[in-house]
Structure 1
């Protein structure tokens, strides 16, 4: 039988070995963490360097957003909501609760409520002040970073139409909510085109039917709406005038 002194000595040596092992593990973990952080940093730097056009595009969108917010305040357009979506450009929506106290569109109709025409005219003034045809020239350095051969830069005015989820009657003017939403987008686009005098290639439309409601109840009138986007983009040169 081992004496008590021998047992205590073995316990001390075992404790020392354990401490040495723990110290080595701590050093190994610290070294591995440092190497991992170094490689992550290198990879991140490479990715950032390789995505410069993407970052410059996002700067263009952000510049357009900042200019829009500043101009909105300057013109006193409190009813105009401005949002930077990054991927889709700058989104503009009309707050109907602050405007005519009526819906922009009647149920199953694409005709714009005449009470909204003064606000649309104010938005046209807003677009005129932004001077979209020369926007790329004012940010030429960023545009040059994303520009590719046989392409040109422009800010497209994209109008997206929406409906509520009410089914259309068989006698309705439109065959589906998709068609109705597209005609709503077209109605607003036509007014903007008429009042701004911009060429056709500055405009685009889309209809989403009732698939993108903004309220919990998709039947509510607030879903009968349009959203307007200003989208910095590259287009083929041959599509221009």
Structure 2
């Protein structure tokens, strides 16, 4: 009886190997706590990654989180903002290259280069590209457009979309069978610029679109000769990525 009782007493409690195993787990825990203490974690991105894994592994349906977490949205917006900043730097570089060309050729009063909400704006004033009442490109204008096209074929801008917009003043067209109104003139001018950029300057056609606005998008009141000259223009807009979806490319 005493021997059987000793065997039962020996079986009571945890096995002896558990003591060693517990010590090992404790040491590992301490090790990872130390690693964590020495590390720096971006909470937003960490949360986004964890939530993404939960969805993709089937913990949550459809690979989505249970609710819209602000940290996840902020993390995605942070990446988006980085891309926007990189794009802005590229546009600034292009603006500087254009301004250098304009200054070297004494065209400061003829071409405006500006960054606006849609992207980089190149504004050709009055008769820079065309003679009054005509839509055929001037020879000197082709040289300038070719320089612009070469810039837009650089790696930084090879995926950028380009919109060409024709504008006129409010004076009606007189005695022209080819252009009955300013609508036809503005559209034809924009189309001829696009055609040149495609056929002679080598820009891919799917990057370009043309629009004519006649007199209805003025930049100044059509009340003086000087203001009307400002409204007679062709705008070339290199679009920012976020504005492409609102443009007629898809």
220-229 vs 163-172, which deviates more?
A: 163-172
Offset of residue 167 of structure 1:
2.4
Matched residue count: 169
Offset of residue 90 of structure 1:
0.6
Q: How does 1:31-50 map to 2 (within 5 A)?
A: 49=75
What are the superposed Cα offsets for residues 182-203 of structure 1, whole Å, 9 maximum, x if unpaired? 1110111222223321221121
Tell whether the 8 Å contact from 2:125 to 2:230 is kept in structure 1 after alignment.
no
Structure 2 gaps, min length 5: 1-68
Q: How does 1:218-237 map to 2 (within 5 A)?
A: 220-233=228-241
- 1: distance between equivalents of 2:116 and 2:161? 15
TM-score normalised to structure 2 length = 0.54
Q: CA RMSD in A?
A: 3.5
TM-score normalised to structure 1 length = 0.56
Question: 1:120 aligned to 116, 137, 142, which one?
Answer: 142
Residue 40 (structure 2) aligns with: none
The structure showing larger relative contact order (alpha-carbon pairs under 8 Å, at least 6 residues apart) is 1
Structure 1 gaps, min length 5: 1-42, 97-101, 138-153
- 1: distance between equivalents of 2:83 and 2:236? 19
What are the superposed Cα offsets for residues 16-57 of structure 1, whole Å, 9 maximum, x if unpaired? xxxxxxxxxxxxxxxxxxxxxxxxxxx998875453465345
- 2: distance between equivalents of 1:69 and 1:81? 10
Tell whether the 8 Å contact from 2:94 to 2:151 is kept in structure 1 after alignment.
no
Which structure would you say has the larger Rg?
2
- 1: distance between equivalents of 2:196 and 2:77? 38
Residue 135 (structure 1) aligns with: 156
- 1: distance between equivalents of 2:175 and 2:79? 50
Offset of residue 211 of structure 1:
0.9
Secondary structure at 1:188's aligned position in 2? helix
Tell whether the 8 Å contact from 2:125 to 2:229 is kept in structure 1 after alignment.
no
Question: 2:93 aligned to 67, 75, 95, which one?
Answer: 67
Residue 155 (structure 1) aligns with: 160
